[in-house]
Amino acid sequence: MSGFRLDNKVALVTGGASGIGQAIALCFAEHGAVIRIVDLNAEAAQKTAERITQSGGNTTAHQCDVTDAAQTKAVFKEILGLSRVDILINSAGISHVGRLENTGDEDFERVFRVNVLGTHHAMREIVPAMVAQDSGVIVNLASIAASAGLEDRYAYSMSKGAVLSMTYSVARDYLRQNIRCNAISPARVHTPFVDGFVKKNFPGKEAEAFAKLSASQPIGRMAQPSEVATLALYLCSDEASFITGTDYPLDGGFFNLHG
């Protein structure tokens, strides 16, 4: 892809050490961005940073628990001390399998802390800097679960619904400061989480379970993290300068064609 360049842009990616976040970090680096990887797993963040560096990219890795307001404030202050931040990708998140009656308060609150408070903390620390520089782009990873009923995803759906509403609110509130804020809502993406889920819940029947999960998307397969990254790349590029306050389903036809 020759277009959608991010030269001279700095992108901060939470959850950038694995899965979708890692794919976005690698993709953005390939397209000229300086990458700030933020992740709870310091070792994995450093390994991803090394991959970028070995490919000629420019990056730094930062360990941070985005559920911790004070820690997020300190780490993001350190990052802003290195350079401006032009792009914020909120990819840090966790899933949870369960419906209302078997989702305990502890699980509900854990999902809320990571997916909702984590996104809130990251935006709260970066948006003032974007206001000061009169520009910025934010992409939040929501989910098709924010808009469609998914079986056994009660707490997860709650959290991604909140992320989507936060996206709309920030887009509206900071429109005049030239800050764009959009969301991507994937259906099932083939990440290490999916492999772990299948291995844990379907021992000895992994291939059958994987095929069934893949078939739940009308297109007949899961998305690849790189496909999410390509959409994020477009949304953060200057070519998408007219787009804000929008949710982009990346769902293989799930929302409109399912069933």
Q: Express each pLDDT in 145-190 by its tens digit.
A: 898 888 889 999 999 999 999 999 999 999 999 999 999 999 889 9
For the question of residue 234 being annotated catalytic, the response is no
pLDDT value of position 1 = 47
pLDDT value of position 3 = 78
Residues 195 and 178: their CA atoms lie apart, in Å, by 40
Distance set, CA 92 to CA 16, 46, 66, 172 (Å): 7, 16, 8, 23
Look at residue 202 and give its three-state secondary structure.
coil
Q: What is the DSSP letter of 147?
A: T
pLDDT value of position 194 = 84
The H or E element containing residue 254 is: helix 254-257
Question: What is the chain's alpha carbon radius of gyration, rounded to the nearest angstrom?
Answer: 18
Do 213 and 153 fall into the same domain? no
Residues 167 and 33: their CA atoms lie apart, in Å, by 23
Q: How many separate domains does the chain show?
A: 2
Q: What is the DSSP letter of 151?
A: T
Tokens of 69: 């307001």
Do 147 and 40 fall into the same domain? yes
Residue 100 in any domain: the answer is yes
Q: Which of 2, 218, 250, 76 is nearest to 60 (CA)?
A: 76
- Does residue 259 carry a pLDDT above 60? no
- Which of the following is catalytic: 156, 168, 174, 234? 156
Tokens of 88: 């914020």
Residue 259 in any domain: the answer is no
Do 87 and 207 fall into the same domain? no
Q: Which of 180, 187, 175, 188 is nearest to 246 (CA)?
A: 180
pLDDT value of position 129 = 98
Q: Are 112 and 83 in contact (CB under 8 A)?
A: no
Do 138 and 22 fall into the same domain? yes
CATH number at 244 reads 3.40.50.720
Q: Which of 8-22, 122-136, 145-159 has the lowest mean pLDDT?
A: 145-159
Q: Express each pLDDT in 35-55 by its tens digit.
A: 999 999 999 999 999 999 999
Q: Could you list the residue range(s) of the whole structural domain that residue 63 is in?
A: 10-187+224-254
> C-alpha 40: how far from its chain's center?
14
pLDDT value of position 258 = 62
Residue 163 in any domain: the answer is yes
- Does residue 137 carry a pLDDT above 60? yes
Do 139 and 214 fall into the same domain? no
Angle at 127 (CA atoms; ends 75, 62), nearest 5 degrees: 20
Q: Express each pLDDT in 61-74 by its tens digit.
A: 999 999 999 999 99
Do 120 and 182 fall into the same domain? yes
Do 178 and 50 fall into the same domain? yes
Do 44 and 162 fall into the same domain? yes
Do 121 and 104 fall into the same domain? yes
Residues 252 and 259: their CA atoms lie apart, in Å, by 13
Confidence class for position 257, pLDDT limits 50, 70, 90: confident
- Does residue 56 carry a pLDDT above 70? yes
Q: Which of 185, 190, 192 is nearest to 167 (CA)?
A: 185
Q: Which of 109, 97, 107, 175 is nearest to 136 (CA)?
A: 175
